[in-house]
């Protein structure tokens, strides 16, 4: 779950990490009033997306009039697919040096990694070769490193502790600035919290940024299903992430386009009934491929859910089954008996039939 | 990480619904399950298997444990792994999906320090046809698994199952199935599994079932170049849009990182025959 700058900075502030004084504002008048209190300011679009500056979402202002005009221009902009609904009005700092620091979950070392660079303020990709990587022993926590100046070591220690405390997978300060008058300040901040940890982060769960989601994707989430809407017309219901992606791949291989990703693997294999309803709710769907290959997920249980949903919803669309693995015999018998349909023996044949039927 | 008939296996969370179901299947297949763990039911017999309070106790009372497999919910997974690693298991099979990343990293650090290999998290397990299986794979289904000489590596259980089914349709059995898992931070990588199959005497060809996200397939290219055995690969996710987690937490393309094209070209440049559909795998093995 991503956090917008304003929320991330509030967490920094609470952790004793210096951030500029600022106020999040929903309208131009509030922004003008904030600038009146703060003086020379930056007016910054709040969206969970990078490259805000390049998109014109960050402006420097000298007084309340300029702040009002800047906020008017920025509010309502679309940046990275998000409509700007708030701006952060923040007091400008006297910058002597811009640095970069982040703590991330590192896949290669399977542990936390501190990233540091003496040239901050730009895209991470642009400075990749200037980043120092400092692996952290998760058992001991962050110990300062000879690469880092003493004050920066102390800053990183507090940042690392916040990263641990929030179950972050990424906590990035870019730029971290050294002020002309001395001292460090986190000028921008990006926080992504591990979705799998939200159950033990009740204070954070409600504060995450908006997510780009369609109405059907929202319904999928409410049902506890991983549903992603796609532009095609062949509806997909499969179990397991790998098999579901593969079903989409084979649809394209056969000249069709998938209408969705939807998998009911893992513990969700008992949710076939709701899942089929979701596939059918997309008006673009012209045919459906139901592809089950049971390992942990029992195909007889999944087929039972599909049959129940089918009998309730009575859809008129053509559906094609491929069913293999755990519970296969019972599943095939159920589909034959209750729906009068014969699952295909080969998955590719079932997919091809679904693609043809959607044309 | 190739499970053998004589390996002494303990099942953590054995008395739960899934633990019971799959323990019965493992026993039926010939896996040597020496005990289960549930602190509340220690001292009982469950499905004929003794229940212990911890893996440590199981190891002490059964004369040692080689492998532990966890049927444990995400919030309790780290403590269960600590128990198994502390008990000295050499192989820990973590089936659990959605374990907090911080706990996964701690698990890997503990295992690394103790010389324990973790398979997973979010793996469907390990199958050695004709010998034993550990996890949640339909090893007992003779349409899917039979002894043979093809080693299969898969991030996904369901897709791995389909590939094994296709292999058998083409008359090819398996020497070993290694489910490495769908998480981003895995204890056993594609390269680790390739090394094990290259050394395995029963294996003479390898099918690598990859998927988009991360860089494990790319990282394995150097390993494959140095291997004697042929590798055929199917990579799932060609039709998946970038920037979205495709079910598995690890299956996400960021920019060009983790993309289908990047994996395919890395594997092909290492001499791997990459096929477009699961059905084309067995054909490619014949060439």
* Record: contact A164-B102, CB cut-off 8 A: yes
Which of A226-230, A258-262, A273-277, B155-159 has the least mean pLDDT?
A: A273-277
pLDDT in tens, B24-65: 999 999 999 999 999 999 999 999 999 999 999 999 999 999
**So what's the pLDDT on residue B255?**
66
Mutate to test the interface with A, among B162, B187, B188 (most CBs of A within 10 A): B162
How many interface pairs between A and B have CB atoms less than 8 angstroms apart?
Answer: 178
A contacts of B159 (beta carbons < 8 Å): 240, 242-243, 245-246, 293
Is position B248 annotated as part of the catalytic site? yes
Residue A359 tokens read as: 């044309």
Whether B172 has a pLDDT exceeding 70, the answer reads yes
pLDDT in tens, A177-208: 999 999 999 999 999 999 999 999 999 988 89
Residues 167-186 (A) with a CB less than 8 A from some CB of B? 167, 169
pLDDT in tens, A57-72: 999 999 999 999 999 9
Distance CA B275, CA A30 (A): 59
pLDDT in tens, A85-94: 999 999 999 9
Distance CA A338, CA A239 (A): 21
pLDDT in tens, B80-103: 999 999 999 999 999 999 999 999
Q: Is B113 exposed, middle or buried (0-12, 13-18, 19+ CB in 10 A)?
A: exposed
Residue-range domains of chain A with CATH? 21-91 (3.30.1490.20), 95-205 (3.30.470.20), 215-358 (3.40.50.261)
User: What's the order of all strands across the beta sheet hosting B205-211?
Assistant: B132-135, B125-128, B174-179, B147-154, B205-211, B231-236, B273-275
Distance CA B184, CA B231 (A): 23
* Record: contact B105-A105, CB cut-off 8 A: yes
Whether B256 has a pLDDT exceeding 70, the answer reads no
Strand partners, B13: none
Residue-range domains of chain B with CATH? 8-119 (3.40.50.720), 141-286 (3.40.50.261)
- Which residues, in sequence order, are CB contacts of A223 under 8 Å at separation 6+? A271, A274, A275, A278
Distance CA B94, CA A346 (A): 31
CA–CA min distance B43, chain A (Å): 28
* Record: contact A107-B158, CB cut-off 8 A: no
Size (chain A), residues: 359
ipTM of model = 0.93
Which member of B98, B108, B195, B248 is catalytic?
A: B248
Cα dihedral value B168, B170, B174, B178, nearest 10? -80
A119 in contact with chain B, both atoms CB, cutoff 8 A: no
- pLDDT more than 70, % of chain A: 99
Q: Is B183 exposed, middle or buried (0-12, 13-18, 19+ CB in 10 A)?
A: buried
Q: Across residues B158-172, what is the average pLDDT?
A: 95
Mutate to test the interface with B, among A241, A247, A291 (most CBs of B within 10 A): A241
Mutate to test the interface with A, among B158, B177, B218, B255 (most CBs of A within 10 A): B158
**So what's the pLDDT on residue A323?**
95
């Amino acid at each position: 779950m991503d956090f917008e700058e304003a929320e991330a900075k509030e967490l920094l502030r609470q952790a004793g990490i210096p951030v500029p004084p600022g106020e999040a504002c929903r309208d131009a008048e509030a922004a003008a009033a904030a600038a009146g209190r703060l003086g020379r300011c930056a007016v910054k679009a709040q969206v969970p997306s990078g490259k805000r500056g390049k998109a014109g979402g960050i402006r420097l202002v000298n007084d309340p009039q300029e702040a009002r005009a800047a906020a008017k221009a920025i509010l309502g902009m679309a940046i990275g697919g998000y409509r700007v609904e708030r701006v952060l009005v923040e007091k400008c700092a006297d910058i002597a040096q811009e640095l970069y620091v982040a703590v991330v979950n590192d896949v290669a070392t399977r542990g936390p990694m501190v990233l540091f660079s003496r040239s901050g303020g730009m895209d991470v990709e642009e400075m990749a070769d200037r980043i120092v990587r400092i692996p952290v022993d998760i058992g001991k926590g962050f110990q300062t490193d000879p690469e880092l100046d003493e004050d920066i070591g102390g800053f990183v220690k507090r940042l690392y502790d916040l990263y641990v405390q929030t179950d972050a997978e990424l906590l990035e300060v870019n730029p971290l600035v050294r002020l002309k008058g001395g001292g460090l300040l986190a000028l921008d901040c990006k926080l992504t919290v591990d979705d799998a940890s939200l159950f033990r982060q009740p204070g954070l769960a409600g504060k995450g940024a908006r997510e780009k989601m369609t109405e059907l994707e929202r319904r999928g989430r409410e049902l506890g299903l991983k549903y992603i809407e796609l532009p095609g017309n062949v509806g997909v219901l499969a179990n397991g992430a790998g098999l579901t992606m593969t079903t989409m791949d084979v649809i394209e291989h056969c000249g069709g386009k998938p209408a969705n990703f939807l998998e009911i693997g893992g513990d969700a294999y008992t949710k076939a009934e709701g899942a089929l309803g979701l596939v059918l709710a997309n008006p673009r769907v012209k045919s459906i491929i139901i592809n089950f290959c049971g390992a942990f997920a029992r195909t007889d249980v999944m087929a039972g859910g599909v049959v129940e949903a089918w009998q309730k919803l009575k859809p008129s669309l053509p559906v094609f089954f491929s069913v293999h693995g755990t519970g296969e015999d019972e599943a095939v018998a159920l589909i034959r008996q209750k729906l009068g349909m014969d699952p295909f023996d080969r998955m590719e044949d079932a997919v091809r039939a679904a693609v043809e039927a959607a044309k | 990480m190739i499970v053998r008939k004589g390996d002494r296996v303990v099942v953590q969370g054995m008395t739960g619904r899934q633990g019971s179901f799959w323990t019965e299947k493992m026993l039926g297949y010939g896996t040597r399950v020496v005990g289960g763990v549930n602190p509340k039911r220690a001292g009982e017999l469950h499905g004929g298997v003794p229940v212990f309070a911890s893996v440590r106790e199981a190891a002490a009372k059964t004369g040692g444990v080689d492998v532990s497999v966890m049927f444990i919910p995400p919030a309790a997974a780290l403590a269960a792994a600590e128990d198994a690693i502390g008990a000295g298991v050499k192989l820990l099979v973590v089936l659990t999906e959605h374990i907090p990343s911080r706990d996964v990293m701690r698990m890997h650090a503990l295992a690394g320090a103790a010389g324990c290999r973790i398979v997973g998290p979010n793996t469907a397990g390990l199958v050695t046809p004709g010998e034993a299986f550990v996890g949640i794979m339909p090893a007992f289904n003779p349409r899917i698994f039979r002894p043979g000489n093809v080693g299969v590596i898969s991030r996904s259980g369901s897709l791995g199952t389909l590939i094994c089914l296709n292999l058998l349709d083409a008359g090819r059995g398996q020497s070993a199935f290694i489910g490495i898992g769908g998480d981003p931070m895995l204890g056993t990588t594609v390269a680790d599994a390739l090394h094990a199959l290259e050394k395995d005497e029963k294996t003479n060809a390898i099918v690598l079932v990859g998927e988009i996200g991360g860089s494990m397939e790319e990282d394995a290219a150097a390993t494959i170049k140095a291997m004697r055995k042929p590798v055929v690969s199917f990579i799932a996710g060609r039709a998946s849009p970038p920037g979205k987690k495709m079910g598995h937490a690890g299956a996400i393309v960021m920019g060009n990182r983790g993309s289908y094209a990047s994996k395919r070209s890395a594997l092909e440049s290492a001499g791997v025959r990459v096929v477009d559909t699961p059905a084309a795998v067995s054909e490619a093995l014949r060439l």
